[in-house]
Structure 1
Amino acid sequence: MDCGRRKFYHEDPFDCRTFLDTYFSDKPDMVFTDDGLKCPMMNFHYVFSSGFVKGDVLIDLSVGSLIHHLYSACDIFKDIIILKVNENCNMETSKWKDTRTGAYNWQHTSAHAAKLEGKSGQIEDKDQRLKTAIGHIISCDFKNENITYPVVLPLADCVTSLFLTTAISKDEDDYMRNLEKISKLLRPGGHLILFLVLNVSYYMVGGEKFHAFTFDENFVKNALCKLGFVIDYYAVQRRRSDSNIIDYEAVMFITACKAE
């Protein structure tokens, strides 16, 4: 039985680079390629290429310095705004955007994005187009009603999030409060797109165990409906990785429209 305190992504020191290397790298022993890289990229590509999610402004709130899910968005949205609750991850994302020395190499995902679009020879172009589309990388704090206070952002046409609500929510009430604050960033008629891990309770980063709020597919659907969203599309993929550093059962992609 694990009686030790589990750390929280947004409250405790978090090694962003180790997190990326463990769950999102192109290393030969990285076992989460299907669930963490290919599945979200395939679903984001499908939704954005279908044409029913569109607009000018996209706001992303994701764990770590993840950007691979945004490649499919940069051809649609003129202004992508990234929000980070962890300052270390904010700096890591900025380093990649500004092509600074030591920035994380996302070439394996830009190559996959180009492949999904049938443009395998345009890897560097895809990478630069996303960097150009990202206009701002801003710190945020879910303790505030306006999580970007004192900055007031324009309402987004689309809000995307990978794993964040799982990592920062302590219980059901906390999850609903966090999800509602995210929904306030979105204009009526806009789309919220979530990529989630189901029935997870922890994940390991550099030998440290971090908290994850446990929920199932029905909980997510009901939470969105309570906040006035209409679900357009969802997909669930049973776990394909074999590792004991995280205990999830499946990954879920869900797109929902905010009521007008």
Structure 2
Amino acid sequence: MVEKENKSLSSVYQEKFQPDYYIRRYYSGLDAGNEFCLHNLHQFFKQAESNKNTEGAAKKVLEVGSGPVPIYIISASQWTDWIVCSDFLEQNRHKFNEWLSTGRKADETWLPYARYVAHLESENADQESAFLVLERARRSIRSILPCDVLQSDPLLGKADTLFDVIISVFCLECAACSAEEYRITITNVARLLQPSGHLIMMGGLEGEYYFIYDRKIPRIKLTREMIDSALEDAGCRIVTWEELPRSLRPPDLPIDYTAMFFCVAKKKLLV
């Protein structure tokens, strides 16, 4: 039954998910939820940068489920120039590649987000600084790969490396059809991490759906305990946990979670 449900969900995404609509509906302007994600990512990579000189070789970052949205790897691009983005949907990869190849002409939508990150990096940041952090992000991206987190190798054999940091934003709970399948996605993604690497996840707690046009898209109803247990099964332990109550999000967004979470989990040396 779960397999049938998953095939159905995959078909819905392939047929109904339109990147331009998604960007207009969910990224029409910088809000408290975006700031929550970007601030916490900045803090993580700022700390990682301070440790960089003692850690040796260049680090590798993977974003799982990038969608058509380039903003969540901006802070990572200050830490490394080796970033791989990925998504299940061809139309999202196409939209991301379009942004990647077009340059500043494609940056208007993302400038408020980039400006926010630029101000986190420097009090003297201005409009040009926003363009520069987006250009830095572009230069850091090595490839945009197909990805299926329900597979034991989510990158489908397209990458021959393990990663030091994996970022996933509102992805894993939307790909699974059951709590057990969610645990499987966590395990699959964690296989791509180096020992002692970090998995960064952001998403919504207690939510069961969001909308694409008039289509209600189901999500796994996540709790802190469910996430903690799934990570433990995957050989990881939570080292950072932050929450943002839903009351600080725009009330008209067609998504029903009660709070956003930011979670950093570290992979154990021995699994």
- TM-score, with normalisation over the residues of structure 2? 0.85
- Residue 141 (structure 1) shift: 2.6
Corresponding position: 1:82 with 2:85: yes
More deviation, 17-26/77-86 = 17-26
Cα distance in 1 for residues equivalent to 2:214 and 2:104: 27
Q: Match for 2:261 among 245, 252, 259?
A: 252
Identity %: 21
For the 8 Å contact 2:16–2:212, the answer to whether it is kept is: no
Partner-residue secondary structure (3-state), 1:248: coil
**Residue 231 of structure 2 aligns with which residue?**
224
**Residue 34 of structure 1 aligns with which residue?**
32
Residue identity in the other structure for 1:70: I
- Residue 226 (structure 1) shift: 2.0
Residue identity in the other structure for 1:56: K
With over 3 angstroms needed to count, the CA separation of the structure-2 counterparts of 1:180 and 1:168, relative to structure 1, is: same
Cα distance in 1 for residues equivalent to 2:150 and 2:43: 34
Partner-residue secondary structure (3-state), 1:96: helix
For the 8 Å contact 1:53–1:191, the answer to whether it is kept is: no
Q: Deviations over 1:172-230 (max 9, x none)?
A: 11101111111011111100000011111111122222111111112111211222212
The structure 1 segments of at least 4 consecutive aligned residues displaced by more than 3 Å after TM superposition are 5-12, 52-55, 100-104
Cα distance in 1 for residues equivalent to 2:170 and 2:261: 10
- Residue 100 (structure 1) shift: 6.1
- Residue 72 (structure 1) shift: 0.8
Corresponding position: 1:97 with 2:100: yes
Structure with greater proportional helix content: 2
Residue identity in the other structure for 1:34: A
Partner-residue secondary structure (3-state), 2:16: coil
**Residue 110 of structure 1 aligns with which residue?**
114
Cα distance in 2 for residues equivalent to 1:230 and 1:195: 15
Partner-residue secondary structure (3-state), 1:180: helix
Gaps of 5+ in 1: 27-31
- Residue 102 (structure 1) shift: 7.5
For the 8 Å contact 1:96–1:103, the answer to whether it is kept is: yes
With over 3 angstroms needed to count, the CA separation of the structure-2 counterparts of 1:67 and 1:202, relative to structure 1, is: same
- Residue 44 (structure 1) shift: 0.4
Cα distance in 1 for residues equivalent to 2:66 and 2:152: 20
- TM-score, with normalisation over the residues of structure 1? 0.89
Cα distance in 2 for residues equivalent to 1:81 and 1:159: 9
For the 8 Å contact 1:71–1:130, the answer to whether it is kept is: yes
For the 8 Å contact 2:178–2:220, the answer to whether it is kept is: yes
Residue identity in the other structure for 1:202: Y
**Residue 209 of structure 1 aligns with which residue?**
216
Q: How large is the Cα RMSD of the aligned pairs?
A: 2.2
**Residue 162 of structure 2 aligns with which residue?**
155
- Residue 67 (structure 1) shift: 2.0
Cα distance in 1 for residues equivalent to 2:99 and 2:252: 28
